[in-house]
Structure 1
């Protein structure tokens, strides 16, 4: 409103100082007033137009201010997201390093070692009595790591660690039935049944041994001993690495 009043006063000032006004005594006063009223109305309309434009400018300025505020808010959110993404990237890089370490650890992990075998790989077999008392288990069920030699019957430790071994023996009453688990040619544990009146005997045993790389483990018969096996797998020998040391 102040703008409008100042504009009207300025225009009216120009209006009433029109040059030569005092010299127009012959002009009809009514015509002159009508012309001036039209001029004033026109000026008022222009003032209204200017005020509307000013309102439009103010509205535009308000929208611009709102847009600036929104852009500032979005920038703040983007900065926050950028920091969060940097944090995620840092954690991702750390996870990738851990995964790589695990891969390297797995790649450098101790070899998997396990075997299981029975005495007979076909038909029926009686082993013993004999001078070479070593039992060679020919029917291989598994031999992960190839630490067991099916030609010699000897298991050779590929690395230092704790190993679990188990075995079972089966035989008839005509001879001593059983076997001895040997570590580097030293008696460790055994199964044993003397000749009896019953028809057959079976037994089993197990042990955990601490072995150094290169130590050898195998099974031997007792003196005058005999065992029996067929494809049913009565006489067996198994072992595996528990963990390296």
Structure 2
């Protein structure tokens, strides 16, 4: 608006000066006035354009400031996220190191102990009734840690811990079928099936025992008991370490 006022005042000054240059005829004055009117209209159009440009520039300046403010906020948020990511990465690295340490510690503290065996290693075998009732499982499938002795049928705990044992027994109806799981010669669990009219009997059992290093576990027949096995592996004995204990 100030620009428009200043321009019009300057134009009027020019007109006033020009009118004072001398006398003119009516025709000359009319032509002169017409030319000046055309000039004024042209100048007004240009002034309008200039003002429109000024308004556009003001709008652009406002939007530019808004964009700058938005970019500033986004940069602040990006910097904050970057800082949080760095913190998360640091904590993640610490967790990975701790997991590796725990994995190495568990690997050292948890020995691999497990065995599995069946009674017969060749042909067919009947065991019992007999004076020596201990069952010796000759066909060894696995014996990690060498805790099981296939010459005596005894498992000796290498370390303190909780151990899981399972066993199965199979036999015919002429005798008692089953066995007793013993820890240091003390009865723990058993399977049992008395003579009956059916042709054969099968049973199984399992237990978790707390053993100290050196404790011994084995299976024995019942008095007057008998079991049968062949390469199909009907009568079996297995065990493994669940986890170690300090005492």
TM-score normalized with structure 2 length: 0.69
CA distance in 2, matches of 1:45, 1:151: 122
Is there any run of 5+ residues in structure 1 with no aligned partner, and where? none
Residues 45-54 or 120-129, more deviating = 120-129
**Residue in structure 2 matched with residue 230 of structure 1 by the alignment:** 230
The structural deviation recorded for 1:13 is: 1.3
Distance 1:19 1:147, change over 3 A: farther
Match of 1:189 in 2: 188
Instruction: Note the alpha carbon deviations across 1:138-186, whole angstroms, 9 max, x for none.
Output: 3345556654344653434343211122333445688887655444x53
Question: 73, 76, 79: which one pairs with 2:76?
Answer: 79
- Alpha-carbon deviations, 1:29-81, whole Å to 9, x = none? 53255235424532441243133122112212212311320332243244335
The equivalent residue for 1:210 is: 210
Equivalent residue, structure 2, for 1:163: 163
Deviation at 1:5, TM superposition (A): 3.2
Q: How do residues 1-245 of structure 1 correspond to structure 2 at under 5 angstroms? A: 1-18=1-18, 21=21, 24-25=22-23, 27-35=24-32, 37-84=34-81, 86-87=83-84, 90-91=87-88, 93-95=90-92, 97-98=94-95, 100-109=97-106, 110-111=110-111, 113-127=113-127, 135-143=135-143, 147-150=147-150, 153-170=153-170, 179-183=179-183, 185-189=184-188, 205-220=205-220, 227-245=227-245
* Structure 1 Cα separation of the partners of residues 205 and 2 of structure 2: 112
Write the deviation string for residues 57-110 of structure 1: whole angstroms up to 9, x where unpaired. 221221231132033224324433543454455446545544553454344333
Question: Residue 228 of structure 1 contacts residue 234 of structure 1 at CA under 8 Å; is this kept in 2?
Answer: yes
Q: Tell me the distance in 1 between the aligned counterparts of 2:45 and 2:71.
A: 38
Q: Which moved more, 1:146-155 or 1:167-176?
A: 167-176
Tell me the SS of whatever aligns to 1:120. coil
**Structure 2: 5+ residue runs without aligned partners?**
none
Contact 1:178 1:190 in 2 (8 A): no
Number of residue equivalences? 241
Give TM-score scaled by structure 1 length: 0.70
Name the CA shift for 1:146/1:11 in 2 (closer, same or farther; >3 Å): farther
Task: Report the Cα distance in structure 1 between the residues aligned to 2:134 and 2:175, rounded to whole angstroms.
Answer: 17
Q: Once structures 1 and 2 are overlaid, which stretch shifts more, 158-167 or 218-227?
A: 218-227
Change (3 A) 1:69 1:172: closer
**RMSD across aligned positions (CA):** 4.2
Q: Give the conservation status (yes or no) of the 8 Å contact 2:191–2:204.
A: no
